[in-house]
Amino acid sequence: MTRPTPAMGQYPPEGGIAYLQLPATDVARSAAFYQAAFGWSADSEHGGFEAPGMIGQWTTDLTPARDAGPVVWVWVDQLYPALQRVEAAGGRVRGRPQPDGGERWLAEIDDPAGNRLGVVAPARTAQAQTMLAVSDVEASSRWYQQLLGLRSDHGGPEYERLLADGVLVLQLHQRRVEHHHGLFTDVGGDVGNGVLVWFGEVSDFDGVLQRAADLGATVVRPPHRNPPQGQGNGPGHREIWLKDPDGYTVVVASTDGEAYEV
């Protein structure tokens, strides 16, 4: 066993957990799992690790705790990506996640050694996750990625998820593909009548203007202040209205208050 040392130069508070030993059948495999699934850092030479607020060690001297003993619960920011990382790294999800008091989600997993662990994620309020029916998913994905700096979280010709800072903000679906839900658009009808695809709180608004020009995007309403000059400060941002490759009207707005009038 390596000697415990204070993480980040500080001792834990009185009664805090100072050190954690985790049973392993293959230290290197366990280290790779916890690094990939939870971002822990590992000392491959001694089998030590550092997690947020915690240090410890994987050891083959202890028997993995499959269905007995204490259960370590690991906090994650988002449930689904964490469970994907667990399985991709060689772990196993033991059952469906369960809500806990409306405040968090709980899911039990097994690590590669067979240790039973828990994953805790926050329960979030409803969020807008717009889906657009498009003629070319991959071309639309590239357009939105270039214009707004979004990141692909799926890819492919039939369906796409686009993220901003790790949060899903836009879904793209091939308009002629049914999947399990059937067609949800009239392939011969006008797109987006009465709907604006709105992206607010964009800090790099001037960069968006340049990228829109680089894309040759059709401008519906050129850059303007909302509200107009002399009409107050709410919301006090700038906007540009564009057409995307399928003809949807896309509004990009700068951070509220960015065009504050004094």
Nearest in space to 42 (alpha carbons), one of 80, 89, 75: 89
Give residue 183's pLDDT: 60
Give residue 9's pLDDT: 52
Question: How would you write the pLDDT of the chain (262 residues) with one tens digit per residue?
Answer: 444 444 445 677 888 888 999 999 999 999 999 999 999 999 978 899 999 989 999 999 999 988 888 999 999 998 989 999 999 999 999 999 999 988 999 999 999 999 999 999 999 888 888 999 999 999 999 999 999 999 999 999 999 999 999 899 999 999 888 766 666 666 677 788 889 999 999 999 999 999 999 999 999 999 999 999 999 898 999 999 999 999 999 999 999 999 998 7
63-70: list long-range contacts, CB under 8 Å, 24+ apart: 63/23, 64/23, 64/24, 64/25, 64/113, 64/114, 64/115, 65/23, 65/115, 65/116, 66/110, 66/114, 66/115, 66/116, 67/116
Give residue 112's pLDDT: 97
Task: Please report the domains of the chain, with CATH numbers, ordered by start residue.
Answer: 15-122 (3.10.180.10), 130-254 (3.10.180.10)
Give residue 55's pLDDT: 94
Give residue 7's pLDDT: 44
